[in-house]
Amino acid sequence: MKHTWNAFRMILVCWASLGALAMNAQAAPGDQPNPTDKFKNLEFREIGPATMGGRIDDFAVVESNPNIVYVGTASGGVWKTTNNGTTWEPIFDKEGVSTIGDIAIAPSDPSVVWVGTGEPNNRQSSSWGDGAYKSLDGGKTWKKMGLDATRHIGRIVIHPKNPDVIYVAALGHLWGPNPERGVYKTADGGKTWSQVLKINDDTGVSDIAMDPESPDTLYAAAYERRRTPFGFNGGGPDSAIYKTTDGGANWKKLTKGLPYENGGDTGRIGLDIYRKDTNIVYAIVQHEKGGTYRSEDKGETWKKMGDTNPRPSYYSQIRIDPNNDLRIWELGAPMFYSEDGGKTFSTQRVRGIHGDYHAMWIDPADSNRMLAGSDGGIHWSYDAGKTWDFLNIIAIGQFYEVALDNEKPYHICGGLQDNGSWCGPVQTLTRDGIVNDDWQVIHGGDGFYAAIDNVESWIVYTESQDGYIDRRDMRTGQQRSIRPEAKAGEPHYRFQWPVVLLSPVAACLSAHGLPGAPTTGPELKAWLADQTNANPERTATNARPATMDDTGPTHSLNIYALGAPGSCDNSDRGRGNRCPTNPSAAAQKSIALATLKP
């Protein structure tokens, strides 16, 4: 793990060389080969760790043959099985994006499959999509069908008898306003689209449900949201349930019995219709007085069943057992299960598998057969959720960041979404190659950055959310926290989702004049520059919560310049480091912010 700066200089030389080639190509087009051609034959190989899955956003199952399942992942594209999960095939790898919001199969023709891209969650890490895709051959080939600017698609529903009639719930941009949000409809298989429900440029639609007996009747969950670098606006006055009975030509806002009937900000809403009696509709509503609601007259009036609505900004998924309108599932960090229509819930039904659930499918022909998708992957049940099989056979783990050392062979460390941080080798001497036992867990929580000391290669710094930073000795397994803490009487340090770690470059930069620069030894010190400017709207946990979501992903932040162990002096130059001799104050500030901007 040595000579990181030498490697960095080599990268700079490569950039310079490529730049020179580019200028020559401009001077004499056609005379110079494309400098990227030399990389065409490079191929990726899987090296692990193969112990976890990744976030699942949706399932679509062919009801006439439930052995055929499509899975939409947060960042790993679409996968398909035709043998009940024994083997899987990635079927979306050649398309423009790999982040999936929803999948829908045409009930009248299971070879017609639609995919809406851009996961509908509100995370800082939520990837945006580039519209809707259609397949006419069960996912073998795809055609892009427009709606590029919708960015995040929460739901697609297809007419039960006419596969050319499709409705799309479009959330729109997460980080700013845009007009391409609401409900879109096509009546010609996606050739043309109409925006049949538009609230405003800040309010999209996160969910839509179609009455299977009267497909011109639909319910749409409007959702006003906005993420910023310093927080998240999780609701507003324009979030609500809307209903149409004429295929989207006209909509009315449903209010009677709902928590926003008398005002107040509303957040995210989840919807489901009971298949055996479509008069029965359920909703979970994020509101100060929100919870679980039931209607028995197609949404005209509602009754509050209970307060349960687990962390709505991240979940807001409700499912009705297709054979029992009183058996309700609400997806959350644990799974919430009710046998009395939502009056009471238990979290003890689903146990022993990875939590943070976002997707569920229940077989209408047999309620014992279920699929659950979580931040940890795909899970199968054959006894109505009492026991589960974890289908850990596809590579959908989500690394936020990776770091390399300069050993031979070199090692890789990195952090995964909700699956901790890991280190492993790039090759081994065993006949079987790299196996799970070659990887080590070095931190828990949501793994983010890992920083490897380029002098003492066995020292790794790793982190999870809210600034929990550890220093680990890979030789002994000894690990301890070096999270910066405010002194008694000082304002509490505010951390956001990840904290960027650079080692030892950050130490080198911050050791030259930044207040509170680190010294030698294992302590990590912090230089604090309050980038929120003490603005109360930026320092609240949420800038405008419909309900409080006091979790790491929504905390506002300060920006810290962090230094890893070791001072930077002239002796470091002999190890390949380059330390600025006397950087200006402006340069110091830009270094800190560029290094640590979230």
Q: What is the mean pLDDT of residues 535-545?
A: 54
Residue 374 buriedness (CB in 10 A; 0-12 / 13-18 / 19+): buried
Are the beta carbons of 76 and 396 closer than 8 angstroms? Answer: yes
pLDDT tens digits for range 4-33: 444 433 333 343 443 444 444 444 455 677
pLDDT tens digits for range 224-280: 999 987 788 889 999 999 999 999 999 999 999 999 999 999 999 999 999 999 999
Q: What is the mean pLDDT of residues 308-334?
A: 97
What is the model's pLDDT at position 7?
40
Q: Letter for the amino acid at 486? A: A
* pLDDT band at residue 501 under the 50/70/90 scheme: low
How many whole angstroms separate alpha carbon 276 and alpha carbon 282?
Answer: 14
Percentage of the residues of the chain whose pLDDT score is greater than 70? 78
What is the model's pLDDT at position 27?
43
What is the model's pLDDT at position 592?
28
How many whole angstroms separate alpha carbon 498 and alpha carbon 475?
Answer: 26
- 200, 358, 381, 535 from 334: Cα distances, Å: 34, 11, 16, 35
What is the model's pLDDT at position 511?
27
Lowest mean pLDDT among 25-34, 353-362, 442-451: 25-34
Residue boundaries of the structural domains of the chain: 4-18+398-596, 56-390
- 154, 228, 328 from 174: Cα distances, Å: 12, 9, 30
Pull the structure tokens for residue 44. Answer: 């990726």
- Asked if pLDDT for residue 582 goes beyond 70, the answer is no
How many whole angstroms separate alpha carbon 41 and alpha carbon 104?
Answer: 36
Element (H, E) at 388: none
Lowest mean pLDDT among 1-5, 297-301, 320-324, 413-417: 1-5
Are the beta carbons of 110 and 160 closer than 8 angstroms? Answer: no
How many whole angstroms separate alpha carbon 53 and alpha carbon 390?
Answer: 9
User: Closest by alpha carbon to 436, among 125, 46, 86, 176?
Assistant: 46
How many residues are listed for the chain in this entry? Answer: 598
Q: In the CATH hierarchy, which fold is given to the domain comprising 56-390?
A: Methylamine Dehydrogenase; Chain H (2.130.10)
Peptide bond into 66 cis (omega under 30): no
What is the model's pLDDT at position 583?
33
Measured CA angle at 333 (ends 328, 339), to 5 deg: 20
DSSP state for residue 553 in the 8-state scheme: G
How many whole angstroms separate alpha carbon 208 and alpha carbon 363?
Answer: 20
How many whole angstroms separate alpha carbon 39 and alpha carbon 28?
Answer: 22
